Structure 1
Amino acid sequence: MATLRMPNTTFFGQLAVEPQKYALLDRPIWLNLVYAFLLYSAFVGYKSAFLHKTSRIPGPLHLHWTMLPALYYYVRGTQWGYVDKLHEKYGTLFRLGSRQIYVSDKHAIRQLLAKENLPKVNWYASLSRDPKTAGMFTTTNKEYHRSRRRLMSPAFAVEFTKQLEPFLVDATSKLFEGYSKRVQRAGGAQTLRFNLYEDLACLAMDILGETAFGVSFNLVACLDDKEADRKFIDINKLLARYLHDGGIRFFCRPFDKYMKRDLDVYKLTNPLVDARFSETEARRAVALAGGEAGESRKDILQFLVDASLDMQKGQKEKLTLTHVRDQCVELLIAGGETTSNTITYILKSLLENPGKLDKLYETIEPEPLDYPVPGFTSLPDTPYLDACIQEGMRMYPVTSELGRRTGKEPTTILGHVIPPRTAVSASLRALHYSPQYWPEPHRYWPERFLSAADRETLGGHDAPDADMEAFMPFGCGPRNCIGSKFAWHEMRMVLHTLLARYKVQAVEKQVEFRQFVTFQLAKPKFEIAVTPRMAVQA
């Protein structure tokens, strides 16, 4: 009689009966490689999520196996919103994977940026033409930055900034002269529409052209005059391509050295720098021979040229022609759209809060359209305008984060030990929207920034006091914005002049934001409707 045998369902039992079914060598090699890769990825992800030194820091678990979701937000320029949501979920400290930490605590941020002054992440270096001659903005070398900062600080000091005032006034006057001509062509008191975003971007570049390259880029003139010199008309586009290529190179390491970088922006700027070097050397030669050399132009470019020529050949610190070329282009990167964008966002906030805008108008006397543009040293004291600007900078910081990295030694943040060579981002936007520091953070509330004395005349007694330790629109520490004073003067000047001459109304109802190098609009358009104030009052 046959014996009934139960099938052996265990793995080893099946292996004994059908060994060929489990033979790896009988499968295609590619399939074995796929299995091996999946097993390795699972192990690496598990180790990163649960065994890494940062495993006690909260954060989304799935990013330990793939960073594609985070990369998607980065490529689209919407990572700022993604980071905001993660801060809301995990608190002031969280991690993306094991090598990227985000922090929004004010004390921890000051520790990173000021006390420890951690170096910038390598992403900044990818934006430079050559890390060896990088300027202050893109260098990741702390010592190199310190020497460059020490060298350039006098060019952004109060007294030197006053020497730049005529260039700022001249460029701003051209913008408002163009507005006045449009009003006159329309019959005087009619309401006109301007693309403020484009106009202010052109103004900012003209100001930088005057101060950093010694010429106006003439972009404001090109807005209305088809016969204007259009030599620099594409400079914003070329600068954007230059930055785009730099960002792509960062994600294509180690193959970036084989990638060709778009350097067309240098074809426009290098001749200006080279010409100033030649002029200065010729002027010095005349003076050395006892002749009348004439006065040099007092701007940032001349400051850099003089510093370069004054350096001794044997001196350790170098500032060559190439250094000056690269530093001037970096001034365009750091100062081109940052100020103009912030002015746009401040006006957007005011237009969304008409009560605040009306209150601001009450503090600014109307001016005729042909009134001379006042310099920043002659502007009247306007505490409410200043408060509106500060609140705008709180809600719309120039950048949503500042990337730093730990060095060869670990550092401790909020009780957590961060390993060496780990990226740590200071989440400025999350800091500025933290209800811990800013009650009703999504409310545009300029009165927070008013002093007790100003609240007696302007109101706002119910507003909470601004937490200035949690207010970092220009960063903080040794790498804060060196041009912050100049940017502040420019914002006050432009906003005061615009609001003194025109009543503004909203046209754009909704706008979308993107974050790449800076915080910007998804589409380069923000239209406003303006009516002359003097005509309105008549």
Structure 2
Amino acid sequence: MYISPLSKIPGPLFSSLTEILVSLKRPEGRVFEWFYSLHLKYGNLVRVGPKFILFDDLEAIKFILKDSDMPKTPTIAGIRAHYNLPTLFSATDKTFHRQRKRILSPAFSIKYVASLEPLIQSCVKSLIKKINTLSKPSPKSSHSLLSSTPNQLNEDSLQSINLYQLIQFCTLDIIGETAFGGSFNMIEKGSHPLPIKILEEMKRRVKCHTFPYFKMFFKKDPWCDEENSKATKQRTDILQILFNNHNPLKQSSPTSPVDVTDGKTMSAFEIQDQIMEFLIGGSDTSAFTIIMAIIMLLYNPEKLRNLRLELKSAFPKLQNSVTSYEHEDDLFLPTHETLKSLKYLNAVIDETLRLFPITL
């Protein structure tokens, strides 16, 4: 406690002995606010555990994340389905991480991602179609899964729309199209068992990681394993890339791994775990960034006007196409190739990511 090199770093009482305060704060989902309050109280360096130090210094953060070669904390293994089954995110071994990146790299090449654009645009078109349908005045409000309060109309007799939920549904449908062999149809139906079950599984893992002594009480739902094991037909999505590296002789499972993973091939359970990461990492983060960009633009109407002027100048027919079309195929959407050259749009995206990093 007193002879440790960290003993001079200030922090809450007993933080030199235990991380219990961090464990108690994590389930609230707002531990970052507590960390911020500690920095206000104790300064740039705060000790919240025997080996847990918070930094509020740009140079230190740059050194830790970029310049140094520090290993990833072993505690990250707590979010794995099994301790011996790492994923790209939870890997602590650098050799394994490089090998897993090599397996996954075809799914993130510029050429392959570009080939997914028609699938992505089909989901965005469904989103636009849904918003247009809900935005039409109607004397009777039909029940909508997207309304925060069913059958609620605003002063213009338009249905209230839960835009955040809509965008979240759209990102989930995109993940379904590009990584699971088909859209979840969340925009139309409002629900699908797979993303819900996977989110529940991730919550279970966080609980196991936060409260390891109670791990035995957090039982895993076998539904995800059973459902993913049915996906055996030839596919044209990211999941197929993982299946191409499937080793059927590798008999590892979350409960009783026979082999320690070699990083070069993947067992069926490793594929399931890896694809779960794609769903979690690709849906919530994207939806959060998009909705925060919209909120900040609404708070700053001048910036919104500037963005609309840039889009209108680049795509004169865009607004009419989005609001007035007979068939979904007639709906025009700009491609990534044309959008990436728009300076103001990209500035809005960059500033949103700066103000609201996805790690929040």
Instruction: Place the TM-score, normalised by the shorter chain, in its bin.
Output: 0.7 to 0.9
CA-atom RMSD in angstroms: 2.9
The equivalent residue for 2:278 is 331
Distance 1:310 1:375 in 2: 39
Q: Tell me, yes or no, if the aligned pair for 2:176 and 2:182 is still in contact at 8 Å.
A: yes
The equivalent residue for 2:145 is none
1:65-104 equivalent positions in 2, closer than 5 A: 67-104=19-56
Q: Tell me, yes or no, if the aligned pair for 1:203 and 1:220 is still in contact at 8 Å.
A: yes
Q: Does 1:153 align with 2:97?
A: no
Q: Tell me, yes or no, if the aligned pair for 2:195 and 2:279 is still in contact at 8 Å.
A: no
Partner residue of 1:351 out of 298, 318, 324:
298
Distance 2:284 2:34 in 1: 23
Partner residue of 2:114 out of 162, 179, 192:
162
Gaps of 5+ in 2: 140-155, 251-260, 313-317, 326-330
1:265-306 deviations in whole A, cap 9, x for unaligned? Answer: 33443323xx23xx3xxxxxxxxxxxxxxxx62x21222222
The equivalent residue for 2:224 is 265
Q: Return closer, same or farther for 1:104/1:154 CA change in 2, 3 Å cut-off.
A: farther
Distance 1:134 1:106 in 2: 30
The equivalent residue for 1:289 is none
- The structure having more radius of gyration, on CA atoms, is 1
1:174-210 deviations in whole A, cap 9, x for unaligned? Answer: 11111222234649x9755321111111111111111
The equivalent residue for 1:300 is 238
The equivalent residue for 1:242 is 201
Give how far 1:255 is off. Answer: 5.6
* 1:140 maps to amino acid: T
Q: Does 1:388 align with 2:348?
A: yes
> Bigger shift: 57-66 or 143-152?
57-66
Distance 1:61 1:334 in 2: 35
* 1:384 maps to amino acid: Y
Count the aligned residue pairs: 320
Q: Secondary structure at the match of 1:336?
A: helix
Partner residue of 2:61 out of 101, 105, 109:
109
1:377-412 deviations in whole A, cap 9, x for unaligned? Answer: 24373211211111111111111xxxxxxxxxxxxx
Q: Tell me, yes or no, if the aligned pair for 2:18 and 2:50 is still in contact at 8 Å.
A: no
Distance 1:192 1:385 in 2: 29
1:210-254 deviations in whole A, cap 9, x for unaligned? Answer: 11111111111214xxxxxxxx62334322321221122123335
Q: Return closer, same or farther for 1:263/1:388 CA change in 2, 3 Å cut-off.
A: farther
Q: Tell me, yes or no, if the aligned pair for 2:173 and 2:187 is still in contact at 8 Å.
A: yes
Q: Return closer, same or farther for 1:72/1:255 CA change in 2, 3 Å cut-off.
A: closer
* 1:249 maps to amino acid: C
Q: Tell me, yes or no, if the aligned pair for 1:219 and 1:233 is still in contact at 8 Å.
A: yes
Q: Tell me, yes or no, if the aligned pair for 2:298 and 2:304 is still in contact at 8 Å.
A: yes
Distance 1:300 1:254 in 2: 36
Q: Tell me, yes or no, if the aligned pair for 1:94 and 1:103 is still in contact at 8 Å.
A: yes
Gaps of 5+ in 1: 1-47, 224-231, 280-295, 400-518, 520-538
> Bigger shift: 327-336 or 118-127?
118-127
* 2:223 maps to amino acid: D
Q: Tell me, yes or no, if the aligned pair for 1:112 and 1:118 is still in contact at 8 Å.
A: yes
Q: Return closer, same or farther for 1:181/1:104 CA change in 2, 3 Å cut-off.
A: same
Q: TM-score, normalised by structure 2?
A: 0.79
Q: Secondary structure at the match of 1:120?
A: coil
Distance 1:126 1:66 in 2: 18
* 2:8 maps to amino acid: R
Q: Return closer, same or farther for 1:124/1:270 CA change in 2, 3 Å cut-off.
A: farther
Give how far 1:63 is off. Answer: 3.1
Give how far 1:169 is off. Answer: 0.8
1:144-171 deviations in whole A, cap 9, x for unaligned? Answer: 2121012212321211111111111111
* 1:213 maps to amino acid: F
The equivalent residue for 1:199 is 166
The equivalent residue for 1:472 is none
The equivalent residue for 2:187 is 220
More contact order relative to length (CA 8 Å, sep ≥ 6): 1
Q: Return closer, same or farther for 1:383/1:243 CA change in 2, 3 Å cut-off.
A: same
Q: Tell me, yes or no, if the aligned pair for 1:197 and 1:340 is still in contact at 8 Å.
A: yes
* 2:167 maps to amino acid: L
